[in-house]
Chains A and B, each alone.
Chain A
Amino acid sequence: MISVSTTQRRTWIPFATVFLAMVLLVIPAPELIRGFLPDWVSLVLIYWALALPTRMKVSLAWVAGLAVDLLTLGIPGAHALSKAVLVYLVKILALRVRAYPLWQQSVVVMLLLGLEVLVFAIVDIVTEGGLGVLHRWTAVIVGGLAWPLIYLVLRRSRHLANLSR
């Protein structure tokens, strides 16, 4: 890769945003709004896979997912699996989706988050034989609606980090 930028790259910034998303994920929220809060980690990972499809690695997403699993004392591997699938797909679709207007990106994000719910459903069926994930649909829709905000904030952080590709 030929780098012509004279300013220094701050590769730690994307990692910091993922870390922040994890903090946001475990903040105790009132029961009323808990069902509507999207999975911030997924949204942040989607952004970085979209903005830097060559640099974002599926392995990084897998590790981030595993961290979420450990953080919430969930079944280790569930979030790791879903996040890896998510980032893999976004990496493939990145060039096309990046050209979409923001609202269309929101729709794609909703579909991706919905896919993640499906992955959780499969894990649930395999591990417990029950379906406990149907309450997550509201969070999927809210996640899609929150996408423009996430996009703008993270684009700002990407410019700060001097990462253009």
Chain B
Amino acid sequence: MVKRGGGGLVRGLGPYLLLSAALIAAYLHLTPVRTVMHSAAVIGIPIHFLASLPSTVLNAMQGHLTTADQLRKEFEAIRQRNLILQTRLHRFEFLENENARLRTLLSATPSEAEQVTLAALLAVNPDPSALTVLIDKGSADGVFQGQPVVDSGGLIGQVTKPGLFRSKVSLITQEDQAVPAQVARSGLRAVTYGGGPNRPLRVLYLDRNADIRAGDLLVTSGLGGRYPPGYPVARITGVERNLAEAFMTIAAEPASHLGRDREVLLLWLPDEDTSSHEKEIEIQADDD
């Protein structure tokens, strides 16, 4: 029965152990290897295509099977929504003009609009603890490391691995992700931290008497220069003031439709000179 001794293990498995270890080490420490590996991910394109077929076909069938009546209803709903959004947009334009005028009065740099590109969600990582998603745009489309990604609800996360034609996006719910934010109502600055899989976001190090309560919307503050200001990040779900501790325990849920939307937006920040202004603020914020 026993055919292999210790030599069998060394010969049978040893080369692969060494090869894997070398690959992991090279990937971690050599940038060119990293780039090559990310480009090699193109072999996944047919597989991702096949994997997305069921939902594509289902969507197409749904389009064919909806009746005229349903379509009319849907159209009506969208028209109404469009009307409401239009009205809001007028107000928004007015506010934007006012904001620009006030900014010139203050001689501050005007805030520029970001450029966006639509990307489709390809796959959710099979490992639920990873909290990453794949999108169908890569460095060939100008995607870069650290690029912010949003959807119709708000901030999703940032690009952590730009491949050639697809990229990996780390969600803000990941435990090592932090987002500089502020409370939309009061302007209070805070940082949200990911809580991990199926756990709420955490807002740490806020004073016991800080002005924050359940239902508050957190938007990106723009500090740190990674995320542009003003995008919804999370809604506060629970605030717990514990007299024994210096800081509050605050839970929040992401504002974005993580994993529900099939489409996401990639943001390109306006040029560096506007963010330098924000970096100054950040340095000041770091001091106190």
Stretch in B49-57, B86-94, B106-114, B231-239 touching the partner = B49-57
Binds B, one of A77-85, A99-107, A144-152, A157-165: A77-85
How many chain A residues sit at the interface, stated as a range, is: 35 or more
In the bound complex, residues from chain A placing their C-beta under 8 Å from that of B43 are 67, 70-71
Contact A136 B127 (CB under 8 A): yes
Give bound CA distance, A78 to B167, whole Å.
Answer: 19
The number of chain B residues with a CB under 8 A from chain A is 49
Closest B-chain residue to A77, C-beta based? B23
Segment from A1-9, A23-31, A43-51 that makes contact with B? A23-31
B202 at the interface (CB under 8 A from A): no
Is B47 within 8 A of A76, CB to CB? Answer: no
Instruction: Check if A75 sits within 8 Å of B16, measured CB to CB.
Output: no
A72 at the interface (CB under 8 A from B): yes
Query: In the complex, which residues of chain A have a beta carbon less than 8 angstroms from the beta carbon of B129?
Result: 132-136
Contact of A27 among B40, B44, B121, B123 (CB under 8 A): B123
Interface residues of B (CB under 8 A from A): 1, 4, 12-13, 16-17, 19-24, 27-28, 37-38, 40-41, 43-44, 47-48, 50-52, 54-55, 121-130, 132, 134, 161, 163, 166-168, 175-176, 197-198, 259
Leading 7 A-B pairs by shortest Cβ distance = A81-B20, A77-B23, A84-B16, A135-B129, A77-B24, A35-B128, A71-B44
5 A-B contacts (beta carbon < 8 Å): A26-B51, A28-B121, A62-B19, A72-B126, A73-B38
17 further contact pairs, Cβ within 8 A, besides A88-B12, A92-B4, A132-B175 = A25-B126, A26-B51, A26-B123, A29-B124, A58-B13, A62-B20, A67-B43, A67-B44, A75-B24, A76-B27, A80-B23, A81-B24, A84-B13, A84-B20, A130-B176, A132-B130, A135-B128
